[in-house]
Amino acid sequence: MSRRTSSGRLPLVGVTACRIMGEHNASHRVGEKYVTAMSEVAGVCPVIIPALPGGVEIDSLLDRLDGVFLTGSPSNVEPARYDGGDSATPDEHDPARDGVTLDLARAAVARGIPLLGVCRGAQELNVAFGGTLHQEIHTKTGGLDHRMRRDVPYDWKYRPAHSLELVAGGRLAAIAGPGPHLVNSLHGQAIERLGPRVVAEGRAPDGVVEAISIADAPAFALAVQWHPEWPRPVEGINRAIFEAFGKAARAAAKDARTGVDVAAE
């Protein structure tokens, strides 16, 4: 099957970046594994969206994009964004990124532009739609420790950490198949209350929400708490998620000059 639209180009997908402050000026950074998952597994053309402190003009972006990918990041969404009180991690925020991604997520869903979120991206999607986060899920008694292991080599950090219970009849279950599925785990925060339009698609054995979608979204709008982009090669449920997103982006594709729909044939 061709990965190109009927006008011969690949769908254009915006990939969110973090704002990293250096000694003299800031950089806008996204891990190559996220961009590669877009180009090699989803089969789309990725373009990086900067986290400018003044924001980006969302409509100008979305007029051109066929999809949006909210990436993972070690930083945490500022609790002020979800009425979460004082921050437990005041040095680990990226307010410029929050300023871009939350508006971008709402606008993409409203315009029927396919959206995929990973880890921080899943937390952003929930907050963008009125949900809240646990600031430190590991302090909750009786649960798993979902944080990244620090005592092992890099690739081991992304090895499966727990099973995933998919919601029967849900959107992710339809994409992923019956399982069983195992996923990695590298997060300190987690979804606490789902936003009014946010639906759980899967949970960890301790009940932590591992995947969400937007109930009435006109297009693909899915986010997962684990990291499907690593390790590589991307296989199983992880591959299925990126491929489903790529397919949705092709279905939503617009002509670069006219804005007319040119979905894949």
Ligand X SMILES: N[C@@H](CCC(=O)NCCCC(=O)O)C(=O)O
* Alpha-helical runs (H) found in the chain: 32-36, 58-62, 95-110, 120-128, 154-157, 171-176, 236-251
- Binding pattern for the stretch 181-200 against ligand X, x by CB under 6 A and - elsewhere: -----xxxx-----------
Rank residues 74 and 112 by Cβ distance to ligand X and give the closer one: 74
243 is catalytic: no
238 lines the binding site for ligand X (CB under 6 A): no
Given 227, 247, 250, 254, the residue binding ligand X (CB under 6 A): 227
Rank residues 120 and 247 by Cβ distance to ligand X and give the closer one: 120
Asked whether 149 and 157 are in contact (CB, 8 A), the reply is yes
Rank residues 9 and 29 by Cβ distance to ligand X and give the closer one: 29
In the complex, the smallest distance separating the C-beta of residue 22 from ligand X, rounded to whole angstroms, is: 19
DSSP 1: -
Please pick, among 134, 181, 187, 227, the residue that the annotation labels catalytic.
Answer: 227
119 is catalytic: yes
Could you give the CA distance from residue 263 to residue 44 in angstroms, rounded to a whole number?
13
235 is catalytic: no
At 50, give phi and psi (nearest 5°). -75, 155
72 lines the binding site for ligand X (CB under 6 A): yes
- Binding pattern for the stretch 84-123 against ligand X, x by CB under 6 A and - elsewhere: -----------------------------------xx---
75 lines the binding site for ligand X (CB under 6 A): yes
> How does DSSP assign 36-91, residue by residue?
HIIIIII--EEEEEP--TT---HHHHHTT-SEEEE---SSB--GGGGT--S-S-TT
In the complex, the smallest distance separating the C-beta of residue 239 from ligand X, rounded to whole angstroms, is: 18
Could you give the CA distance from residue 241 to residue 246 in angstroms, rounded to a whole number?
9
81 lines the binding site for ligand X (CB under 6 A): no
The tokens describing 39, both together, are 């180009």
